[in-house]
Structure 1
């Protein structure tokens, strides 16, 4: 989707289709969300097959939906690709489980991913990012969006315990899950693409666990750590480990590439911001937060109302699906003045909800923040300039906001 919106326009809220893939691959949803926040903070849509959902677009409402599992449950599914169809893995899959079980599984995994815990990976991540950026400095066209799809696997593969030979395949499979209608990842119908990717990913983790159990080998990887998690005092079954491993793989691979490419595009379009960041490296952490807010790569999450809920000036009925639009919340002027301006000095940029909110706040947030900080430290130190060398191509997805192509040409920064 376009991250820098065009001019305000009239929007027919009665005919609005928020699942229109063209709106995200070729269109401009931000002016639509602007109107929704102003005139329809609770919006109801019925799909052609009769399924229906409600949408919230204001920052406070999005935080309420994502933050209160007593009002809005995750245990029927959390992604809009499953709207109206209960997720068979709900109650087991970490992302589709409410507290207290969610907390019991999440807490021991989270100890491996705190800011302090991931700090030991900084030097290794820096070397990985240096290797990643090196080809871009050869003066030829470098497709940042396409190359960046592999970057999270390069960073997190060793942490997860996944061998390098499997990274490319797993990246492709996770992209199929999150963008099953994009021609780069689609295999047959959308439903077939989802089914194939889900089966292959779960099977991969099951085989990984089976092999580890058979060999008796132990390591400090995150997937191996899952084998020792005991929610409620009982160990996870192999099926539960496979589903939670699947969830971790998705989280690791899906959003960071699009935050990278979208933030770089913003810097290319605003050379004064690029120069400001180069002149003052202390701005890099805030550049990362503004990039996360600006790109909002995980565009939305879904919940189901437990009972009738009053929100956004209306009512969501019990068992009604509600989509919380993160991409809209992060452009809410009540929280972010001049929200459609990309400003690396923005005060309060860290209030964004790009990592979600509440119990399901992204467990890998500290690792993602560190990776992005290192990426932009290295980019600003090495690149003297960056220019577009072709048209960006946007991901065909209403769930993940990102790009499949961002061709750039970079020049080396001259050493003083």
Structure 2
């Protein structure tokens, strides 16, 4: 097997197949950081697609690794609850996880989601498109030619932070705070960005204070089209507790940041690993929308979501007990060869490129999925106008996380302009 036509370490494969099945634990951030998690999922899809891990750093949990089984869990919010957090590692001080609409069940989930969804309506995306294009052009025109630079920092982070700052209607000069806070939310203490949970909580206090100020500004102003104003004036959200408001801000920050940013970076990696596909794209830019969907599948920017079983449930011949933690591994579902042909290959002109599970399914399907696709489409339209190629210089540095499947840095060079 290869991940996008590159051989992975034989050691990781040997270890995945040598581990007794009942001890197999795919939730290891070090494996994700080294891009070596594929073998565990390959084995589980073949041998034990509904798999119970009794002991892990996150307690006992079920792994759901096949596309259709993930669909079953994701679309059954009656049997699988989002209450209490959506990641395997939910931990948030002593008050329990932050409330946010993605970690709620109906009816509360539905009314809160409905409050913010107009910001990503087709009409609003039409208004946003020229602004995103103008910013993408400005970012790309400022890149050095013939010099090494970090694509994650200069392009992926910039475009997503600019767009998110616009959705919040906050000053553009503060946009990198969003990038930083988003990274802190998902960071594991002791892995580079933050040292301790206490430090994380201290940063959260500043983050919370910033958005409390924005709320106070908007609540005393007439209703407007930005996310904060929608929450401050929405019938279902204007009386929410401060922690709940902050929980939704955290959700919108991470959702609006990590997914698009890591797929923009992932597209550079995928096209460099697959020069035939890069050539195909250059020769036919009409393939951009299809390439964007294929990259979202291939990258799977959020590796999993978790649920809690609200009742005993039979799946794949196993009984998941009420109260059990259930992890849907989207990263594995997107490589399920029973649903996706040649799933480890990166093919930008697939027949059904949107047939992936990266955005989830059911009531929790990613609210901003069309905005993510729009940003990716625009940045690639603008890249192809300017540069014959963007060359990856070395393996990127990946994030230490089982949740965010992304990149800390990616060294590239642009040899020339068109």
What TM-score, normalized by structure 2, do the two folds share? 0.91
Identify the residue that residue 338 of structure 2 maps to in structure 1: 334
Bigger mean CA offset, 369-378 vs 43-52: 43-52
Report how far residue 198 of structure 1 moved.
3.9
1:226 is aligned to 231
Give the counterpart of 2:150 among 143, 147, 162: 143
Query: In terms of mean alpha carbon deviation, does 17-26 or 55-64 score higher?
Result: 17-26
**CA 1:245–1:374 in 2, change beyond 3 Å: closer, same or farther?**
same
**Pair 1:17-2:25 in alignment:** yes
| Mapping of residues 7-156 of structure 1, within 5 Å | 9=14, 10-12=17-19, 13-47=21-55, 51-82=59-90, 88-89=96-97, 92-147=99-154, 148-156=156-164
Structure 1 residue 302, shift from structure 2 partner: 0.5
Asked if 2 retains the 8 angstrom alpha-carbon contact of 1:42 and 1:314, the reply is yes
Distance 2:366 2:57 in 1: 32
Q: What is the aligned partner in structure 2 of residue 395 from structure 1?
A: 399
Deviations 1:116-164 (A, max 9, x none): 3211111110111112222335221121123322321112211211212
Q: Structure 2: where are the runs of 5+ without partners?
A: none
- 8 Å contact kept, 1:173–1:200: no
Is residue 291 from structure 1 mapped to residue 295 from structure 2 by the alignment? yes
Q: Give yes or no for contact 2:70–2:333 (8 Å, CA) kept in 1.
A: yes
Q: How does 1:263-412 map to 2 (within 5 A)?
A: 263-412=267-416
Q: Is the contact made by 1:277 and 1:283 (CA closer than 8 Å) also made in structure 2?
A: yes
* Secondary structure at 1:142 match in 2: strand
**Structure 1 residue 46, shift from structure 2 partner:** 2.9
Classify the secondary structure of the residue corresponding to 1:385: coil
How far did 1:243 drift? 2.4
Report the TM-score when normalising by structure 1. 0.91
Cα distance in 2 for residues equivalent to 1:384 and 1:220: 38
Whole-Å separation in 2 of the counterparts to 1:264 and 1:160: 28
Q: What is the root-mean-square deviation in Å for CA atoms of aligned residues?
A: 2.5
Q: Alpha-carbon deviation of 1:347?
A: 1.5
Q: Any conservation in 2 of the 1:290–1:344 contact (CA below 8 Å)?
A: yes
Q: 1:184 to 1:127 in 2, by over 3 A?
A: farther
Q: In the TM superposition, what are the counterparts of 1:202-241 in structure 2 within 5 Å?
A: 202-213=208-219, 216=221, 219-231=224-236, 235-241=239-245
Q: Do 1:298 and 1:326's aligned partners in 2 also have CA atoms closer than 8 Å?
A: yes
CA distance in 2, matches of 1:362, 1:126: 23
Q: Secondary structure at the match of 2:63?
A: strand
Shifted more, 203-212 versus 114-123: the winner is 203-212
CA contact (8 A) 2:23 2:54 kept: no
Offset of residue 113 of structure 1: 0.8
| CA 1:177–1:206: 2 relative to 1, 3 Å | same
Match of 2:354, SS?
helix
Counterpart-to-counterpart distance in 2, 1:50 and 1:114: 37
C-alpha distance 95-203 of structure 1, shift in aligned 2 (>3 A):
farther
Deviation, 1:47, is: 3.2
How far, CA to CA, are the matches of 2:334 and 2:95 in structure 1?
Answer: 27
Between the aligned partners of 1:384 and 1:398, the Cα distance in structure 2 is 35
SS of the aligned residue for 2:390 comes to: strand
SS at match of 2:388: strand
> Residue 180 of structure 1: which of 188, 213, 218 is its match?
188
1:13-68 per-position Cα deviation (integer Å, ceiling 9, x unaligned): 33323232221112411122111111011111133568211110000111122221
Give the number of aligned pairs. Answer: 409
Quote how far apart the aligned CAs of 1:182 are: 7.2
